[in-house]
Amino acid sequence: MKTILFQGNKTEGAWDIFRPEVEKRAAVEKKIGEKYNLVFIPLQGKFDEEAKRAPESHWLWDGVHPKAAGHDLIKREWLKAFNENFTE
């Protein structure tokens, strides 16, 4: 999953619309992944967990676009999924 979302200046005006849409899109992405035997990485859940450790502004610039820490988190989760699913 690539779509991640926090409340920020790009999302605050329509938060009640954006967040459910992210959840819907993630469910579709997961379903497509299952159909084609692809790995689904639930990034929103991981970002939600990490937002308990550091503020949302640490991870995303504006509620949508990742900062360096957000890109690093995506990279770590991608590598973790790769190592769990494609290495011996």
Report residue 60: phi and psi, to 5°: -130, 145
The pLDDT value given to residue 3:
63
Does any domain span residue 4?
no
Global confidence as pTM = 0.81
Q: Is the pLDDT of residue 74 over 60?
A: yes
With respect to residue 80, please indicate whether it lies within any of the assigned structural domains.
yes
Would 53 be classed as within a structural domain? yes
The model's pLDDT over 13-69, given as tens digits with 9 standing for 90+, comes to 777 888 888 889 889 999 999 999 999 999 999 999 999 999 989 999 888 889 999
User: Is the residue at 40 inside a domain?
Assistant: yes
Quick one: pLDDT band at residue 2, thresholds 50, 70, 90?
low
Report the distance separating Cα 62 and Cα 58, nearest Å.
10
Asked whether residue 38 is assigned to any structural domain, the reply reads yes
Distance of CA 76 to the CA centre of its chain: 12
pLDDT at 1: 45
Domain count, the chain: 1
**Per-residue confidence (pLDDT) for residue 5, from 0 to 100:** 66
Domain extent at residue 36: 12-86
Q: Is residue 1 part of a domain?
A: no
What does DSSP assign to residue 64? S
Please indicate, yes or no, if residue 65 is contained in any of the structural domains: yes
